[in-house]
């Protein structure tokens, strides 16, 4: 029953950085969630983020295309090339 709490290490690892809000961390946290992707052109795509890469290339599921707040198209799956992306916004609290 000993060893309930391990003894403190002589050389404890350096403290984690206080901010973990980097773009990479955001993207890790947002995969699988509902997002709003706005293109530079102003068109919005709302859907479930299935995956993305460092270029901000994006694959969305259950996608709705919004132009001026009006749904203009629905796609089961959509690929968005990253150069067009203005922002990726979480549509729900993370």
Residues that bind other proteins (CB under 8 A): 19-27, 30, 36, 40, 42, 56, 83, 85-94
Q: Report residue 32 as tokens.
A: 């699988």
What does the alpha-carbon distance between residue 78 and residue 49 come to, in Å, rounded to a whole number? 10
Q: Is 22 or 72 the residue whose CB approaches other proteins more closely?
A: 22
Q: Is 8 or 14 the residue whose CB approaches other proteins more closely?
A: 14
Q: Is 36 or 59 the residue whose CB approaches other proteins more closely?
A: 36
Q: How far is the CB of 3 from other proteins (least distance, A)?
A: 38
Identify the bridge partners of residue 85 per DSSP, sorted by sequence position: 39
Task: Give residue for tokens 């089961």.
Answer: 76
- Contact present, 63 and 75 (Cβ < 8 Å): yes
């Amino acid at each position: 029953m000993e060893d309930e709490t391990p003894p403190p290490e002589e050389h404890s690892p350096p403290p984690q950085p206080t901010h973990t809000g980097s773009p990479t961390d955001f993207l890790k946290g947002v995969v699988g969630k509902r997002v709003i992707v706005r293109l530079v052109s102003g068109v919005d795509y709302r859907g479930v983020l299935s995956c993305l890469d460092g270029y901000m290339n994006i694959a969305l599921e259950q996608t709705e295309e919004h132009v001026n707040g009006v749904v203009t198209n629905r796609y089961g799956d959509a690929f968005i090339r990253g150069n067009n992306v203005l922002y990726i916004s979480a549509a729900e609290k993370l």
